[in-house]
Chain A
Amino acid sequence: MAAPCGSRCPVLELLGDHTFRTVCLGTGLIGATSGALGCFSYLRRQALIGDVVSHASLLGIVGAFAISALIAGTGTKAIVVLIPGALVAGVLALLLTRAITSRTRVKEDAALGVMLAVFFGTGILLLRVVQRSPRISGHAGLEDYVFGLAAALTQGDLLLIAVLGALAIATMILLWGALKLHTFDSAFAHSMGFDATRVDTILAVLQVTSIVIGIHAVGVVLMIALLVTPASAARQWTRSLRGMVILSAIFGAVSGAGGSLLSALYARAPTGPMIVLVATAIFIVSILFAPDRGILARYRSRKRRRRAVLGAGGA
């Protein structure tokens, strides 16, 4: 496939490459999942909790690796071992943040900051300990979870991402009414029998899942970009929750796949930052040019209104 194109068409050459297709598909799926579920975080003004969860998952990743090393002698980086670790740490960080906000008088932004720092700091520390320990082998590549390395995605990773992502999206579609109602008006939803704690927990599990499947490719530091940026961009263009979620999933998929393409093309730059660049480009176009909500549209309608008012007064 790649032969007739030669080195003059790097994009086509890449698309013919099996490894690259795996990577592109993987990051696209990750982007679509977190883009869709990120809408609920955005609308509930809980975007930053996602950042805490993704930073916290590093501790879970390294912790799961260290435990496997202690048990088996040599550590495993199999995603089926690391992802449960990330899930546990992510959920723990989420619950702790909630507990601090609801049980103490610490404000939410401060609680988020504290939890993010504690979990990420401990994660980095444990990573160093594992890397320096002469008794633990097989830790090479563990550091890729910090900034992400989509090139490291294997067929097995892709399968797991696809299965977990599909499960999360299917659950979202199945419980659509309850999730929508709870996001708009949780007290009203509760009064009709959609228990607020239960729906909250379901949403949290879905969001943690969408984060955890992405951290290897995107990195814990920048995963927040796929959770928040596509949703913020999609909100600009849409007038219904359904439209927002679909568009945000598309924006997320384009950011993920486009970011890995760019990172493969240009000097093997880390994937995370490239994905962020694509997502941000979509975001900037959206806040500038979206009809109704875009900056330009609002500027124009303000000018029109002013002219109408002044015209009426002058005539």
Chain B
Amino acid sequence: MTRASAPPALRIDGLTVAYESDPVLWDIDLELPAGCIMGVVGPNGAGKSTLLLSTLGLLPPLAGRVEVFGQPLERVRHRVAYVPQRRSVDWDFPATVMDVVLMGTYGRLGWFRRPGKTQRAEAMAALELVEMVEQADSQISELSGGQQQRIFLARAFVQHADLLMMDEPFAGVDAKTERAIVRLLHGLRDEGKTLLVVHHDLATVPEYFDQVALLNRKIVACGPVGRTFTDAHVERTYGGSVRVPVPRA
């Protein structure tokens, strides 16, 4: 155990969340060491998105505690970036790609200040990373699904966060974009950032992630992929019919 050194990037203790009366998440314990990329997998309705939302304080939990870098979330909000599901917003909003990426700077600017030259330069750099510079002035309603996902990533990059929480960043994007995004995420990890990624494709788990959390309302197992992502755990998560897929050749 590395308890003596830096605190984990994310530590969840006994988190229980209910929408109406049925708990969606039940007594979740999770620890994500800093500098790792963790995949959260589980069947539909397992509470994967809910886990992100309640960790970020968007859904008040019934019980439990969340610590980010050893502190309560409120103190370190600026070190956390959230990438929601692409489909959670209305893309027919009057805004350009640049407008949306700039939104990532609002957290540091606060309630009253507006983005200026510095922020625009940062946004441009982020667009370069996701290869979307040419579309900077395009309307967001004209983007493809993959492009929408890229600018959501760029928006998270300009937050300069140390912990990134992403909800299905590969949903509905083509294979080429998916590979490009994975490269970016691994690059971030290699810089020392920590990533928590809700994911649904079991086949790519060993390739994409160093840590995995298997979730079905409760945490079935959580830890390094090699030790955690086993047939037994996957079966318990998905209810018997699913096994660890053979990696694609």
**Residues from chain A with Cβ under 8 Å of B77 in the complex:** 191-193
Known: A184-B89, A184-B93, A235-B94. A240 touches B99 (CB 8 A): yes
Q: How far is the CB of A190 from chain B (nearest CB, A)?
A: 5
A221 at the binding interface (Cβ < 8 Å): no
Known: A191-B80, A196-B58, A240-B95. A43 touches B139 (CB 8 A): no
**Residues from chain A with Cβ under 8 Å of B113 in the complex:** 177
Considering the chains assembled together, what is the distance between the CA atoms of A239 and B140 in angstroms? 10
Considering the chains assembled together, what is the distance between the CA atoms of A49 and B94 in angstroms? 22
**Residues from chain A with Cβ under 8 Å of B114 in the complex:** 176-177
Considering the chains assembled together, what is the distance between the CA atoms of A188 and B82 in angstroms? 6
Q: How far is the CB of A27 from chain B (nearest CB, A)?
A: 27
B57 at the binding interface (Cβ < 8 Å): yes
In the bound complex, do residue B107 and residue A193 qualify as a contact, i.e. CB atoms below 8 Å apart?
yes
In the bound complex, do residue B100 and residue A177 qualify as a contact, i.e. CB atoms below 8 Å apart?
no
- Which residues between 40 and 78 of chain B lie within 8 Å of chain A, taking CB atoms? 53, 56-58, 77-78
In the bound complex, do residue A240 and residue B107 qualify as a contact, i.e. CB atoms below 8 Å apart?
no
**Residues from chain B with Cβ under 8 Å of A181 in the complex:** 103, 106
A194 at the binding interface (Cβ < 8 Å): yes
Q: How many residues of B contact A (CB 8 A)?
A: 31
In the bound complex, do residue B94 and residue A244 qualify as a contact, i.e. CB atoms below 8 Å apart?
yes
User: In this complex, what residue of A is CB-closest to B113?
Assistant: A177
A175 at the binding interface (Cβ < 8 Å): yes
In the bound complex, do residue A177 and residue B106 qualify as a contact, i.e. CB atoms below 8 Å apart?
yes
In the bound complex, do residue A187 and residue B103 qualify as a contact, i.e. CB atoms below 8 Å apart?
no
In the bound complex, do residue B94 and residue A187 qualify as a contact, i.e. CB atoms below 8 Å apart?
no
Known: A43-B90, A240-B99. A188 touches B84 (CB 8 A): yes
Q: How far is the CB of B224 from chain A (nearest CB, A)?
A: 27
Considering the chains assembled together, what is the distance between the CA atoms of A193 and B93 in angstroms? 22
- Which residues between 84 and 119 of chain B lie within 8 Å of chain A, taking CB atoms? 84, 88-90, 93-96, 99-100, 103, 106-107, 109, 111-115
A174 at the binding interface (Cβ < 8 Å): yes
**Residues from chain A with Cβ under 8 Å of B84 in the complex:** 185, 187-188
Considering the chains assembled together, what is the distance between the CA atoms of A175 and B109 in angstroms? 12
A186-219 near B? 1/0 per residue, CB < 8 Å = 0111111110100000000000000000000000
In the bound complex, do residue A190 and residue B95 qualify as a contact, i.e. CB atoms below 8 Å apart?
no
In the bound complex, do residue A187 and residue B100 qualify as a contact, i.e. CB atoms below 8 Å apart?
no
A137 at the binding interface (Cβ < 8 Å): no
**Residues from chain A with Cβ under 8 Å of B112 in the complex:** 174-175, 177
**Residues from chain A with Cβ under 8 Å of B95 in the complex:** 184, 240-241
Listed in ascending order, the chain A residues whose CB lies under 8 Å from chain B are: 43, 45, 174-178, 180-181, 183-185, 187-194, 196, 235, 238-241, 243-244
Sort A-B residue pairs by CB-CB distance and give the 6 closest, nearest first.
Answer: A192-B107, A191-B82, A191-B56, A185-B89, A244-B94, A193-B77
Listed in ascending order, the chain B residues whose CB lies under 8 Å from chain A are: 53, 56-58, 77-78, 80-82, 84, 88-90, 93-96, 99-100, 103, 106-107, 109, 111-115, 139, 155, 159
Cross-chain pairs A/B with CB under 8 angstroms, 16 sampled: A43-B93, A176-B114, A177-B115, A183-B93, A187-B82, A189-B106, A190-B56, A190-B57, A191-B57, A192-B107, A193-B78, A193-B107, A239-B96, A239-B139, A240-B94, A241-B99
Given A177-B111, A241-B93, 20 additional A-B pairs, CB 8 A: A43-B94, A177-B109, A181-B106, A184-B103, A185-B88, A187-B53, A188-B103, A190-B57, A191-B56, A191-B81, A191-B82, A192-B77, A192-B107, A235-B94, A239-B94, A239-B96, A240-B94, A240-B99, A241-B94, A241-B99
